[in-house]
Structure 1
Amino acid sequence: MRRPHRLCRRHGFSLVELMIAIALGAVLMLAVTELATRNSAVRNELQRSAAQIENGVFAIQQLEQDIANAGFWGETGQPPAVTYDGAQYSACSTTPPLFVGTATAPAALGEELRQATCYPVLGGQAPPTPAGLAVKDGTDYLAIRRGSSCSLDDAGCDPAVPGDVYLQANACFEPNVSGAPAPGDLQFSTVVAELEFMTRACDTVTPVELAPRYRLLSRIYFINDDDQLARAELSGTGPGAYDTVEALVDGVEALRLEYGLDNGATTGSFAGDGQVDEYVRTPLGAGWSDVVAVRVFLVVRSRESSPGHVDNRSYTVAGESYTVPAAYSDYKRQVFSRTVVLRNVAERRE
């Protein structure tokens, strides 16, 4: 008896089915790859934007902190006179120097230190470029003068550096002592041991309770040719005192400033009332002593270019047009701005 043959069934995929599966897989892979690529591009762009914002905020904060403390001379108001090397200097020049502390003769150095107290801020635009500073054309520079925020006797404050300039304000009132310094008198010295003003206690018992002594800070902020916010700082005295320049922030294309002048009514012995009457790009001569606020504008670009991006926008910074450099048109940029009040200057006039 013959058994019927069973039909043989084929197992697996046919060629057509296999090709369809491969095609579907390829489509899915392309979709996943495209999604991953886009996510990567978005992530990179977010990282560039975050770094740009971080740079802009840090740059603004650096300037804000120094500007807000400009004109701090210890426990004193605007000093009527400054003592250096045993001589007094009281006049405020109408042509204040940018680089205070570079003179070699004691009399000239004392005069420069006096001008620092008369003009806590002083700036300008390049060109022309101040000798000794590589300032990028079309940008501003700003000198800020003040005492350090911590005294030599404070815990954690840097120790005295030989050759640096230090200041001290007198707080002791001795009306019965002939020739005694008045409260608020200010003296400078490169020798800390020569700063012997006393506190309000006027305690002459050894050890004498000395008034706080602060390092003189004279810093000049500017944009260099590498598009960096840079700072030259007084170190020592004499020629070359500003030779050390520190680059603070990359990608800062422009710094521009407007100065708020208090040139209105007079209050007491001070000109003005501590309020801004007008903003100008550059005060003239003695007008720098009337600056009570500064508007800071920074143009900050990202560290890397953004593929496919072309920055064809027009910018107005501090009332003037700003042209995007052609070599960096594929970089994204932002304008950061802040208005900073010179508290020590304005409050003396209020």
Structure 2
Amino acid sequence: MARRRRQRVCAAAGATLAGERAVTRRRCRQQGLSLSELMVAMAVGLLLILAACAVLLATRTSYLLNEDRARLNETGRFAIDAISRAVRQAGYLDPSAMPAYAAAPPAVQGLDARGLKTSTEGIAGPWQKAVNGSDVLALHFDGADDGGILNCAGAAVPAGPDRGWSIFHVAEDARGEPELRCKYRGASGWKSDAIARGVESFQVLYGIDTEGDGLPHRYMTATAVDAAAPGGALWRTVAAIRIGLLVHGAERARPGMRRLALFGAEYARRHPEDAGAMVDEAMLPEAARGLARRIFTATIPLRNGSAAP
């Protein structure tokens, strides 16, 4: 019995040793890769890396475009809001000084396709070349001692014989970037501050009250208002202001060139003399072509009327 038991133990040990040797031989045969296997593995890995990079770039581009559009919309809304507040304040008269304003200038004045200098009085010349035919909008109003009357720069206008000004125009900064600016009279003279960057064109139409009911019945350019009545008398009948802004972003959105009508294609067709109302991207500087752009428009009624009492 003991001899048979020893034989079984030896047989089992031999089988175990043979199995270990077979596993060792299989392991030795499976170590390393052939050249063809290595090349296939590298090709698959490169494809996966390229796919991941493509997804990353597409996600980054989409994020930048969305952020740029959001910034563009914010700029346009801010500019429209700043101009709207100033227009609604235009024509304000100090009740205690009303008898002295028989010869006061109208609440609204404007220029077509002009560029202003900071050092000149109000909207007086000499003028600079307009940026893409942009217009000038000048608003007049009285000040107040309680600090409740602000100009377009957000500064309080005190009561006194010198009326307040809020003048909107487009100019280029030191790097050639167009921006909407606010010109006003400060304590030490005239100043011009940027309020919205990226505004390429600023167009203004004036709603004329032809029936004396305080409502606009016909919209005209500043040139047409000046030509319609001697001495600028028609400016005292302005009941509303219609503005158009063309704002560009910082990211390229499309390769093609467009023609952008700030007041619509029909207005541009009927009024070819108002050159600034149509902006052709092909005529812009090369660095500005293909950028994301949007047109913002608004019609704002004058709260205080345009004529002095």
TM-score normalised over the length of structure 2: 0.70
State which of 163, 185, 189 in structure 2 corresponds to 1:241.
Answer: 189
Q: CA deviation at 1:145?
A: 1.1
Q: CA deviation at 1:134?
A: 4.1
- Is residue 331 from structure 1 mapped to residue 291 from structure 2 by the alignment? yes
Please give the secondary structure, in 2, of the residue aligned with 1:53.
Answer: helix
Aligned partner of 1:280: which letter? M
| Counterpart contact for 1:256–1:296, Cα < 8 Å | yes
TM alignment of 1:204-223, pairs within 5 A = 216-223=163-170
| Counterpart contact for 2:235–2:306, Cα < 8 Å | no
Provide the rounded CA distance (Å) in 2 between the counterparts of 1:64 and 1:55: 14
- Is residue 61 from structure 1 mapped to residue 55 from structure 2 by the alignment? no
Aligned partner of 2:53: which letter? T
| Counterpart contact for 2:102–2:308, Cα < 8 Å | no
State which of 218, 235, 241 in structure 2 corresponds to 1:278.
Answer: 218
Aligned pair in 2 of structure 1 residues 157, 126: CA closer, same or farther (>3 Å)?
closer
| Counterpart contact for 1:274–1:348, Cα < 8 Å | no
Q: Which residue of structure 1 aligns with residue 102 of structure 2?
A: 90
- Is residue 146 from structure 1 mapped to residue 91 from structure 2 by the alignment? no
- Is residue 14 from structure 1 mapped to residue 33 from structure 2 by the alignment? yes
Task: Kindly provide the CA deviation profile for residues 155-204 of structure 1, in whole angstroms up to 9, marking residues without a partner as x.
Answer: x999xxxxx9743xxxxxxxxxxxxxxxxxxxx447xxxxxxxxxxxxxx
Provide the rounded CA distance (Å) in 2 between the counterparts of 1:28 and 1:59: 47
Q: Which residue of structure 1 aligns with residue 262 of structure 2?
A: 317
Q: CA deviation at 1:135?
A: 5.5
| Counterpart contact for 1:274–1:346, Cα < 8 Å | no
Please give the secondary structure, in 2, of the residue aligned with 1:255.
Answer: strand
Aligned pair in 2 of structure 1 residues 311, 61: CA closer, same or farther (>3 Å)?
farther
Aligned partner of 1:247: which letter? A
State which of 287, 302, 308 in structure 2 corresponds to 1:342.
Answer: 302
| Counterpart contact for 1:136–1:225, Cα < 8 Å | no
Provide the rounded CA distance (Å) in 2 between the counterparts of 1:128 and 1:224: 7
Task: Kindly provide the CA deviation profile for residues 192-238 of structure 1, in whole angstroms up to 9, marking residues without a partner as x.
Answer: xxxxxxxxxxxxxxxxxxxxxxxx421211001341101110124xx
5+ residue gaps, structure 2 = 1-9, 117-123, 151-155, 227-231, 269-277
Please give the secondary structure, in 2, of the residue aligned with 1:221.
Answer: strand
Q: CA deviation at 1:56?
A: 1.0
Q: Which residue of structure 2 aligns with residue 254 of structure 1?
A: 201
| Counterpart contact for 2:248–2:291, Cα < 8 Å | yes
- Is residue 124 from structure 1 mapped to residue 111 from structure 2 by the alignment? yes
Between the two proteins, what is the percent identity of the paired residues?
24
Larger Rg: 2
Provide the rounded CA distance (Å) in 1 between the counterparts of 2:294 and 2:205: 18
Task: Note the aligned Cα RMSD (angstroms).
Answer: 3.3
5+ residue gaps, structure 1 = 83-88, 92-113, 159-163, 168-187, 191-215, 265-271
Task: Kindly provide the CA deviation profile for residues 53-106 of structure 1, in whole angstroms up to 9, marking residues without a partner as x.
Answer: 111111111111101111112447x94x31xxxxxx624xxxxxxxxxxxxxxx
Provide the rounded CA distance (Å) in 1 between the counterparts of 2:85 and 2:112: 21
TM-score normalised over the length of structure 1: 0.63
Provide the rounded CA distance (Å) in 2 between the counterparts of 1:63 and 1:157: 15
Q: CA deviation at 1:47?
A: 1.4
Provide the rounded CA distance (Å) in 1 between the counterparts of 2:55 and 2:183: 48
